[in-house]
Structure 1
Amino acid sequence: MTYTNDANPAISGINLLLRPVEIKTPQPSQKDWLKNLNYPPIWITHSQTDGVARVLPILPKACHYSTLVQAIYQQLTWDTFVEWQNSVHGISGVEINTQPLHTVEFSISAITPLSTRLGRGIHALFFRWIDIADSALAAELHQQSVPAFSLSIQSLYPRQLKVKINLFKPELLAPLLWGMSHDLGQQIRLGRIPCYLSNRAKLVRSSSFEALTQVPTQNVISLEFLSLTSFKQQQKIQPFPLPELVFGSLWRRWNHFAPTELQFPEIEWDGMVLSYDLKTQPLQMDEIKDMGAIGEVDYRFSCPQQARIATILAHFAEFSGVGRKTAMGMGEVELRE
């Protein structure tokens, strides 16, 4: 039996490691195993490798996870076996996730071809899922001027999209997965389009602000803008990702969500563009037409302190996105080696 934890007491999620065993006697189902909880969890399969399943017991609010952890540890003193997917498994480990940054991945399919420009519909879907778990939190998120999440939308096939929701606050993972669990494997609607949600959501990435501050400094930073990216500059739309716009956008977002002791002082960026391969494209979201750029840019920072901060922010960008409307799928960024 293994237990893993982190020094940070705030719990954002829990994994149980289930290993199949040869036992003939009946065992309690996963629902009955923790039946005495006031907030019984919903169970979601996270992944399965070499016969070992990682299963997430999901609650609507992260604040209840400490009680759930106590109940799990108490139950393990009595019974380490559970019936999962019609076979008996032994609980071989408990993993406690305390990271604030997460990426949840799932797919959406339809009978007709789907466009990657469905960000507004997926944005609405996110708020519906949060509202199922915690309507007060959904209302609070609606009012925030700086979104606490970003979207990535990629086309797998003409009729299938891969969607990633990136979260910047630890308390968002539980309500998102709780709300999403009601639709997994079911028909949903994106605007007027009937679609089907995949039967599994994967937590593909987790990190912390502290971990991002430990990355090696790069003087040259290469970013690939995977979705249309633009910025507000003097009340106008600027599609070219100038250094001060890219890293200024990331600096503001980092300082909004990072712990106080990890926030950066105000910076007058002196980075320069070394090279770029960009093209601009229009983006139609419902009746709203937008403009942005996609492609690659190499930035150089001569100041060691700015290079360090820019490197940290570039790694953060893979969660947060860059520029405008990142909560609708714009500004997706990948850091290239």
Structure 2
Amino acid sequence: MASRTQKSSRGAKTSWPKTAELVGLEFSLVAEEDYELYPQYTIALHAWFLKQIQTFDPDLSKALHDSEAEKPFAMTGLNGKFVAHSRNLQLEKGKVYRWQVNGFSQETVAGLATWLKKPPREIMLKSTLLNVKDIRVALPATTYQSLGNEHIEGNSFSLTFISPTSFRRKGHHLPLPWPRNVFHSYLRRWNLFSGQGVSQDDFLDWIDEHVVIQRHWIESVKVAAGKRGSVTGFTGAISYSLDRKAQANEDFYRLFFILGRLAPYFGTGHKTTFGLGQTMTGWHLKQVSVEVPSAQVLLAERIEELTDIFREQRKRTGGDRAQSIAENWATIVARRELGDSLQDISDDLAIPYETAKTYGKLARRALKENQP
């Protein structure tokens, strides 16, 4: 459902220069009633955002949706006070929930500026209505060049991973903020969008050689994330520093700190357009969303269990296609077991209803064959 838009134009607090290449927007949302969010609600939030962009710039919306490479935006899930001791995420009537969307290409940031000329008054996520109380710039509008010119103080910095964060390594999830993986995540986006690309292998080898973990507090968590599949990730905080020899390569030394400043804009790891990998600079453990509703944990565990079964059955196929099919089948079966309608599942997976129905039948048949 399309959201109503506010008639008033955006104020100075949500304005920025046309040259801006990075910005982060925070929406303050108020629930009209008590609502129960389904575990994978960030899929609907992601779709709502792209439909908003589509109303005034279909080409940009298509690029943000279809790009197979790194996407030039990231978004969070909802942050706020949820009902305690709830199996699902329960929104309380009248409470404020915060949602953030970041852009980090000039085209995307310009699109966000156009969007805010007639900002939305509400967000509709299936049957959940959230009124937009306020919109503010949470991460300053700037350019890659300006960020790179900022003064460097000290020899270390800390990052806090607010939402579950994960990487892929050799086909498996890596739920650890290992320096090479963390900075590889940022470097990919830097090379694509800054116009100042550097050698990936050389920089990551330098990271391996000179970055030291000073301290960390990490907790692992399993969640259902993105359109399909589950993720084993982590939340928490970590401090990185450089050894004495690091300054011998001045360019990489500066880039290390620049990427740290970009972490809140980019997010960390994969599926950052579905709420994973939300990152803050500094050590902020009180901000960490360590509580994951039991329904979401159960869904993630069930999806992982089923994915392993279906992938094992398709061993001969191998490769990304076998993994994709296994995740689709697992997601459909697991969500049907939780009571989600096939129509909602097909919408979230962005596949036709009949295709989802066929996948469900094939998956159930495969499970019967797997029984002893």
TM interval, shorter chain, is 0.5 to 0.7
Q: In structure 2, the residue corresponding to 1:120 is in which secondary structure?
A: helix
1:131 aligns with 54
Structure 1 residues 219 and 157 mapped into 2: Cα distance closer, same or farther (>3 Å)? same
1:3 aligns with none
2:108 aligns with 172
1:189 aligns with 124
Structure 1 residues 163 and 109 mapped into 2: Cα distance closer, same or farther (>3 Å)? same
Asked whether the equivalents of residues 151 and 329 of structure 1 are also in contact (C-alpha less than 8 Å), the reply is: yes
2:11 aligns with 46
Could you say which structure has the higher strand fraction? 1
Distance in 2, Cα, partners of 1:228 & 1:147 = 19
2:75 aligns with 151
Question: Shift of residue 182 of structure 1?
Answer: 5.9
Matched, 1:311 2:257: yes
2:29 aligns with 108
2:347 aligns with none
Q: With the length of structure 1 as denominator, give the TM-score of the two structures.
A: 0.66
Structure 1 residues 114 and 245 mapped into 2: Cα distance closer, same or farther (>3 Å)? farther
Question: Shift of residue 326 of structure 1?
Answer: 0.8
Distance in 1, Cα, partners of 2:40 & 2:79 = 10
Question: Shift of residue 101 of structure 1?
Answer: 0.5
2:20 aligns with 99
Report 1:148-297 matches (<5 A).
148-158=72-82, 159=91, 160-176=96-112, 178-179=114-115, 184-186=120-122, 188-190=123-125, 192-204=126-138, 205-217=140-152, 218-259=154-195, 262-266=196-200, 267=203, 268=205, 269=207, 270=209, 271-285=211-225, 288-297=229-238
- The Cα offsets for residues 64-119 of structure 1, whole Å up to 9 and x where unpaired, read as xxxxxxxxxxxxxxxxxxxxxxxxxxxxxxx7442111112212332225669632
Distance in 2, Cα, partners of 1:209 & 1:135 = 26
Distance in 2, Cα, partners of 1:183 & 1:211 = 28
Question: Shift of residue 181 of structure 1?
Answer: 6.3
Structure 1 residues 99 and 289 mapped into 2: Cα distance closer, same or farther (>3 Å)? same
Structure 1 residues 222 and 98 mapped into 2: Cα distance closer, same or farther (>3 Å)? same
Q: In structure 2, the residue corresponding to 1:323 is in which secondary structure?
A: coil
2:363 aligns with none
Distance in 2, Cα, partners of 1:273 & 1:248 = 16
Q: In structure 1, the residue corresponding to 2:62 is in which secondary structure?
A: helix
More displaced 10-residue stretch of structure 1: 115-124 or 241-250: 115-124
Structure 1 residues 200 and 210 mapped into 2: Cα distance closer, same or farther (>3 Å)? same
Matched, 1:299 2:240: yes
Could you say which structure has the higher helix fraction? 2
Count of aligned positions: 249
Question: Shift of residue 199 of structure 1?
Answer: 4.6
- The Cα offsets for residues 257-279 of structure 1, whole Å up to 9 and x where unpaired, read as 002xx323331122232221000
Asked whether the equivalents of residues 149 and 320 of structure 1 are also in contact (C-alpha less than 8 Å), the reply is: yes
Asked whether the equivalents of residues 44 and 55 of structure 1 are also in contact (C-alpha less than 8 Å), the reply is: no
Q: In structure 2, the residue corresponding to 1:124 is in which secondary structure?
A: helix
Report 1:27-46 matches (<5 A).
43-46=8-11
Structure 1 residues 258 and 96 mapped into 2: Cα distance closer, same or farther (>3 Å)? closer
Letter in 2 for 1:254: W
Distance in 2, Cα, partners of 1:272 & 1:114 = 43
Structure 1 residues 46 and 200 mapped into 2: Cα distance closer, same or farther (>3 Å)? farther
Q: In structure 2, the residue corresponding to 1:212 is in which secondary structure?
A: helix
- The Cα offsets for residues 135-186 of structure 1, whole Å up to 9 and x where unpaired, read as 1221122221211101133523333420111101222234345456666223
Distance in 2, Cα, partners of 1:223 & 1:132 = 36
Distance in 1, Cα, partners of 2:259 & 2:116 = 30
Asked whether the equivalents of residues 46 and 203 of structure 1 are also in contact (C-alpha less than 8 Å), the reply is: no
Asked whether the equivalents of residues 14 and 137 of structure 2 are also in contact (C-alpha less than 8 Å), the reply is: no
Distance in 2, Cα, partners of 1:287 & 1:336 = 32
Q: In structure 1, the residue corresponding to 2:11 is in which secondary structure?
A: strand
Q: In structure 2, the residue corresponding to 1:213 is in which secondary structure?
A: helix
| Structure 1: 5+ residue stretches without partners | 1-41, 48-53, 57-94
Q: In structure 1, the residue corresponding to 2:77 is in which secondary structure?
A: strand
Structure 1 residues 265 and 288 mapped into 2: Cα distance closer, same or farther (>3 Å)? closer
Distance in 2, Cα, partners of 1:231 & 1:274 = 21
More displaced 10-residue stretch of structure 1: 175-184 or 243-252: 175-184
Question: Alignment identity in percent?
Answer: 22
Asked whether the equivalents of residues 231 and 237 of structure 1 are also in contact (C-alpha less than 8 Å), the reply is: yes
Question: Shift of residue 209 of structure 1?
Answer: 0.2
